[in-house]
Copies of this chain bind each other. A is one copy, B any other.
């Protein structure tokens, strides 16, 4: 489903991603863990081409991200084609990025109605169901500025899910959630995984990674240090860097 090959990315002189290569199979849940500033968010953003990569290649569902190969030349995709691909990649941002001028429900229905052309009636019904699923049945008509941090995060999750994407990118989806809700989001994600959705999840909660992940990737300073099953990486890591990182978990 997702394949990265020697992906590099710099901001000015700062190399943020250094030759990251990894692969996520369809239906797999991959967790990215690593210290703050190691490039996890940047990698997610490269997947749906919100950042252009400086080197290497990236495929989603067999297609190159942002480019098409004709002969041996990479043609940049037209804006419209990129939008089409992005519609099938859901993303939950670390800072949520909710639309402040739309209520919770409108945030969730915007994508289906505008991008996918779903009938409003139907989109609203589905949006309602999603918001209820994340426990916001009574906040549907609140604007984001009237929601608590955790409530905003749940709207962001619902907004991404409403597009029924094939690949979901979660950037710390539980950072603002209380333990109860983390459990619920975990349930939602397990459901999704069973229904065959591929997921890439950045998280700082090792317990969460252990529960949800098929594979865990450990990043440090832009380098993919170690990948493997959670049982292996989280409990018995090979690299010293991973060991020292995990040693601090409370």
Contacts and interface: CB of A to CB of B under 8 A. Distances in A.
Interface size on A, as a range, is 35 or more
Contacts of A78: none
Contact of A248 (B180, B206, B250): B180
A206 B179 contact: yes
Contact of A176 (B94, B180, B207): B94
Interface string A211-250: 1000000000000000000000000000000001110111
A112 interface: no
Nearest to A94: B149
Contacts of A176: 36, 94, 172, 175, 204
Contacts of A182: 204, 248, 250
Contacts of A150: 35-37
B250 A178 contact: no
Contacts of A148: 36-37, 41
Nearest to A177: B36
Interface string A149-181: 111001000000000000000001001111111
A205 interface: yes
Contacts of A206: 179
A-B pairs, top 4 by smallest CB distance, nearest first, are A36-B150, A207-B250, A183-B248, A179-B249
